[in-house]
Amino acid sequence: MAQTGEKRKRETEEENGAEGGTIAAHPLSGFELKSVLRDSAREKTIFLHGQVPEDAVVILEKIPFQADAVFNLLKNEPKLKLQLKNDIYGVYHLSPPPELNEIKTTVICPATEKHIKKYLQQEIYLINETEEDYKAITLPFIETQSFSVQWVYNILEKKAESDRIVYENPDSVNGFVLIPDFKWNQKQVEDLYLIGICHQRGIRSLRDLTSDHLTLLKNIFQEGKEAILKRYGIHENKLRIYLHYQPSYYHLHVHFTALGHEAPGCSVERAHLLSDVIQNIESNPNYYQTRTLTYVLREDEVLLKKFRESGMC
């Protein structure tokens, strides 16, 4: 059936992610591959560096199965192509309908050199950052070289993603916005991933947290869990709630992920459980200013170079 011009225009806008009634160019128009930055068969994800013509990072990821959709597919005798049959063992190719074959596609464009390096497969090294190292090496680095947090301000000021907000405590000191993370397509709760972004500006990371922030942290912890239970029916004993140190973006935010989902960055050398953070600050208000914190840096990272130059690793 022929489509009306208006209907097709609307669909093109949705397809290309256009806002405000203008037809956007296709985000991958003229895409040329420069290199494969990383390819993980286990995670079923590939990270590409391309040009469109600006530099772009494109991340393609196969999405998790949704039990209901798979059940419907199997009960309707889908077409199977036999690959191997041996005794009780059979292996087949099943070509699912397009809606079950989606590839989540993230486009970062224009991507900076730092973005390209962030996704490049690299050697990693453990750093033990003392209080003195933080002041002399890390803090000057954060102040001059970290990623822009404009996307965070856009969320807090409702200039972007406002329709995706799950919960907000609007208090400018102790409030926050809870929103689905960029990495979650919201189609299944198995890989649930939200972030709680505080309204207060200037709290860069774990290192800045003191007893002054306990009310804020407790609000994020308590109200975040309640909002997720209400919206997604996921109980707090099925959630991993943590902060990254080092984060990529130095505006305080908390990660909420499904416990069964091994989200990137949830390993011990990066993730700090919010419940532990609250208790540590309660037992020592300056815990995070004085403790040595251990984390991993990638070979190409400027911060690693700074540590090496100062002879600290």
Residue ranges binding ligand GTA (CB under 6 A): 45, 59, 61, 106, 118, 151, 161, 179, 181-183, 195, 244, 247-249, 255, 264-265
Q: How far is CA 47 from CA 50, 90, 120, 193, 304, in A?
A: 10, 33, 8, 20, 23
Question: Could you tell me the smallest distance in angstroms from the CB atom of residue 71 to ligand GTA?
Answer: 26
Question: Could you tell me the smallest distance in angstroms from the CB atom of residue 105 to ligand GTA?
Answer: 9
Query: Residue 224 or residue 247: which is nearer to ligand GTA going by CB?
Result: 247
**HEC assignment per residue over the chain:** CCCCHHHHHHHHHHHHCCCCCCCCCCCCCCCEEEEEEEEECCCCEEEEEEECCCEEEEEEEECCCCHHHHHHHHHCCCCEEEEEEECCEEEEEECCCHHHCCEEEEEECCCCHHHHHHHCCCCEEEEEECHHHHHHHHHHHHHHHCCCCHHHHHHHCCCCCHHHCCEEECCCCCCEEEEECCCCCCCCHHHCEEEEEECCCCCCCHHHCCHHHHHHHHHHHHHHHHHHHHHHCCCHHHEEEEEECCCCCCCCEEEEEECCCCCCCCCCCCEEEHHHHHHHHHHCCCHHHHCCEEEEEECCCHHHHHHHHCCCC
Question: Residues within the annotated binding site for substrate?
Answer: 151, 161, 181, 183, 244-255
Question: Could you tell me the smallest distance in angstroms from the CB atom of residue 82 to ligand GTA?
Answer: 33
Neighbours of 198 (CB within 10 A): 26
Question: Residues within the annotated binding site?
Answer: 151, 161, 181, 183, 244-255
Query: Residue 148 or residue 211: which is nearer to ligand GTA going by CB?
Result: 148
Query: Residue 53 or residue 264: which is nearer to ligand GTA going by CB?
Result: 264
Question: Could you tell me the smallest distance in angstroms from the CB atom of residue 309 to ligand GTA?
Answer: 23
d(CA 300, CA 285): 34
- Which is nearest to 35 in space by CA: 116, 147, 145? 116
Query: Residue 73 or residue 141: which is nearer to ligand GTA going by CB?
Result: 141
d(CA 142, CA 250): 8
Annotated catalytic residue within 49, 115, 213, 253: 253
Query: Residue 73 or residue 107: which is nearer to ligand GTA going by CB?
Result: 107
Query: Residue 115 or residue 306: which is nearer to ligand GTA going by CB?
Result: 115
Beta bridge partners of 310: none
Active site residue 253: yes
Question: Could you tell me the smallest distance in angstroms from the CB atom of residue 157 to ligand GTA?
Answer: 13
Question: Could you tell me the smallest distance in angstroms from the CB atom of residue 74 to ligand GTA?
Answer: 28
Q: Which residue numbers are catalytic? A: 253
